[in-house]
Amino acid sequence: MNFRLPLVVALAIPSLARAQDLPITAPARSVEQRITDLLEEWHAAGRFPGASVGLVVDGKRIACCVGAAPDDAEKPIEVDDLFLSGSIGKTYLAAAALRSEGFDLDARLSESLGDRDWFERLPNANAITLRHLLRHETGVPRHVFSPDFQAALIADRDRVWKPDELVAYVLDAKPMFAAGKGWAYADTNYVLLGMAFEEFTGKKWYDYAREELIAPLGLERTVPSDQRRIPGLVQASVVMGRAFGFGEFALEDGAYAVNPQFEWCGGGWASSAGDLAVWAHALYAGDVLTAEQRALMLDTVPARGLGPKREYGLGVMVTETELGPMHGHDGFMPGYLATMGFFPESGVAGALMLNGDDARGVGRPLYLLLVEIVRVATGG
């Protein structure tokens, strides 16, 4: 039976409610729903297979996602899926360096690595300090942009790279500038820093990071990207990464196209967006660092190339936004884009991860999308 109220009765119901001081309002949308709606809007208008968001708001973890695998529309993105986080991995090493008593940031790199047979061939070798490495002020070029390195990466996709083999691609190169007299981002700086840190601790980097940072925070969806098969890693669409010799997809029969182990301390982790947001909150607002150590980390220099209103500290990108400063980092690996940040004025931490590396396909830099997500999450 199709039962309908007479028009006069239907119109009278709202009036009766107002008379009884019971205003009729639509149910408030949850933060999760507001963020999901925003992601779906971007997904419909953009060119990326899927995205995952993690937030820490008022001590509560929030996770949302949209989209699917690029090769299987029937396999949706889920909040616990892993994405390669790229250079965001530098923040773990920076935190370890800052919190390690006796690891003198103003010590020369030569004190740690000066006995290596290649050391004198490193650009600016004897002038580089550990602080220069952390803040990308060494003048050392990026080994990952070497055509010879890129060819070698594709030629032997299972190769396990030694740090010395990565550094070899910049030996005898002309320095980009004198150490401490300029700024240029280079993964090579963090490979060198990782070597120095292992010398200092006597531990392998991943062992130290798991014991001191990952396990204590309960980051169960954060794992080293040190092999081609990473359980839980989502399939991804490759566009920018094709310059490195990749094909259409990041995974081939479930394995990454090359051994991502080459990243090591230049990145080196896979994570869920939820875990990454927890890490951002712990690093920039929690107990990972003391207030004094955090102040050292946030001692920034201008960083041309990262975008307007952005500077670089000791393993941190500091960005001026409409929501105040954002402390965080961006990441790229063929197939994946990621960003994380903490907003001191609201106390919110967040992460946004994509299983597609076409930066133009999202319309704006990823960190600006994270700003919009946090604005919506906080009702701004």
Collapsing DSSP to helix, strand or coil, 348 comes out as strand
In 3D space, the residue among 153, 163, 160 whose CA is nearest the CA of residue 133 turns out to be: 163
Per-residue confidence (pLDDT) for residue 29, from 0 to 100? 74
83 secondary structure, DSSP code: E
Compute the CA torsion angle 136, 185, 301, 296 (nearest 10 deg).
-50
CATH topology of domain 31-377: Beta-lactamase (3.40.710)
Judge residue 34's burial from the number of C-beta atoms within 10 Å of its C-beta, 0-12 exposed, 13-18 middle, 19 or more buried. middle
**For the chain, the helix, strand and coil percentages under 3-state DSSP, each to the nearest 5:** 40, 20, 40
CA 264 to chain CA mean position, Å: 14
In 3D space, the residue among 228, 234, 269 whose CA is nearest the CA of residue 52 turns out to be: 234
Strand-pair partners of 261:
none
Dist. CA 129–CA 314, nearest whole Å: 12
Per-residue confidence (pLDDT) for residue 134, from 0 to 100? 98
Give CA separation, 163 vs 107, 169, 188, 192, in Å.
20, 11, 9, 8
Question: Tens place of pLDDT for every residue, the chain, 380 residues?
Answer: 332 322 222 222 222 233 234 343 444 579 999 999 999 999 999 999 999 999 999 999 999 999 999 999 999 999 999 999 999 999 999 999 999 999 999 999 999 999 999 999 999 999 999 999 999 999 999 999 999 999 999 999 999 999 999 999 999 999 999 999 999 999 999 999 999 999 999 999 999 999 999 999 999 999 999 999 999 999 999 999 999 999 999 999 999 999 999 999 999 999 999 999 999 999 999 999 999 999 999 999 999 889 999 999 999 999 999 999 999 999 999 999 999 999 999 999 999 999 999 999 998 999 999 999 999 999 87
In 3D space, the residue among 144, 130, 89, 99 whose CA is nearest the CA of residue 264 turns out to be: 89
In 3D space, the residue among 224, 237, 216, 228 whose CA is nearest the CA of residue 334 turns out to be: 237
CA 216 to chain CA mean position, Å: 20
Express each pLDDT in 6-50 by its tens digit.
222 222 222 223 323 434 344 457 999 999 999 999 999 999 999
Strand order in the sheet with 222-224: 83-84, 269-271, 222-224
DSSP per position, 256-324: ESS-GGGSGGGS-EEE-HHHHHHHHHHHHHSSSS-HHHHHHHT--EE-TTS-TTEEE-SS-EEEEETTE
Strand bridging mode 317-321 / 324-333: antiparallel
Taking each helix axis as running N to C, give the angle between helix 273-285 and helix 90-99, from 0 to 180 degrees, rounded to the nearest 10.
30
Q: Model pTM?
A: 0.92
CB 49 within 8 A of CB 236: yes
DSSP per position, 10-39: HHHHHHHHHHTT----PPPPPHHHHHHHHH
Is residue 325 within a helix (H) or strand (E), and if so which, with residue range? strand 324-333
Express each pLDDT in 64-109 by its tens digit.
999 999 999 999 999 999 999 999 999 999 999 999 999 999 999 9
